């Protein structure tokens, strides 16, 4: 896959968007392996500006499905992936996403932290350090949340190539994703 980069080596955010979907690509920076998680920054370029946030993914995420494609309940990871605000580049990321999704968001801050339930869309053994891992994220999926806040997206991690792909599952979740990431 050929990735288009800006002058600083950051991937152009929406270069893989097609068929009405906004699919985003990010470069992984500052990867830290902690006892129970991986922590890293993701960055991209949009119209010459660097945008991004910090991400934490729990270690030990296993394939979410058995050989018959049945969901393995104890492999549904509550708070499996968390996004963190890192400053203006995170606020700008949410503003850019809102614009790409067709919403107007001005002078709003990203939340300090938002966590998602994660399921690996794989069967069999996976190794997050060496395999391209495809995750489905569920936002605002707790019973205490309003149904309109619920959202889903795909978050695909390729640590060996320092890339993350954050892709839409359905355009109907756009508003909930943006509002869920804003203060």
Predicted TM-score (pTM) of the model is 0.94
Q: Which string of b and e fits 44-74 if b means at least 16 CB within 10 Å?
A: bbbeeebbbbbbbbbeebebbbeeeeeeeee
Inside any domain, residue 85: yes
* Tally of domains within the chain: 1
Inside any domain, residue 19: no
Inside any domain, residue 17: no
Inside any domain, residue 59: yes
Inside any domain, residue 18: no
Residue 48: domain span: 24-181
One digit per residue, the tens of pLDDT, for the chain of length 183 reads 799 999 999 999 999 999 999 999 999 999 999 999 999 999 999 999 999 999 999 998 999 998 899 999 999 999 999 999 999 999 999 999 999 999 988 778 999 999 999 999 988 888 888 899 999 999 999 877 688 899 999 999 999 999 999 999 999 999 999 999 999
* β-bridge mates for residue 116, sequence order: 81
Inside any domain, residue 3: no
The Cα-based distances of 182 to 26, 91, 92, 94, 175 in angstroms read: 20, 8, 11, 8, 11
Burial of residue 176 (CB within 10 Å: 0-12, 13-18, 19+) is buried
Burial of residue 4 (CB within 10 Å: 0-12, 13-18, 19+) is exposed
Inside any domain, residue 12: no
């Amino acid at each position: 896959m050929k990735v288009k980069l800006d002058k600083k080596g950051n991937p152009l955010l929406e270069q893989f968007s097609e068929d009405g979907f906004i699919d985003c690509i990010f470069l992984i920076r500052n990867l830290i392996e902690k006892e129970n998680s991986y922590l890293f920054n993701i960055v991209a370029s949009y119209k010459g500006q660097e945008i991004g946030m910090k991400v934490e993914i729990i270690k030990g995420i296993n394939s979410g499905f058995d050989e018959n494609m049945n969901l393995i309940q104890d492999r549904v990871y509550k708070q499996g992936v968390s996004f963190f605000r890192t400053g203006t580049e995170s606020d700008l990321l949410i503003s850019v996403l809102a614009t790409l999704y067709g919403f107007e968001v001005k002078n709003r801050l990203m939340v300090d932290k938002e966590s998602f339930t994660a399921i690996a869309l794989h069967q069999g053994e996976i190794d997050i350090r060496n395999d391209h891992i495809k995750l489905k994220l569920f936002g605002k999926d707790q019973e205490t949340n309003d149904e309109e806040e619920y959202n889903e997206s795909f978050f695909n991690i390729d640590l060996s190539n320092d890339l993350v792909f954050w892709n839409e599952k359905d355009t109907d979740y756009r508003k909930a994703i943006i509002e869920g990431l804003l203060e």
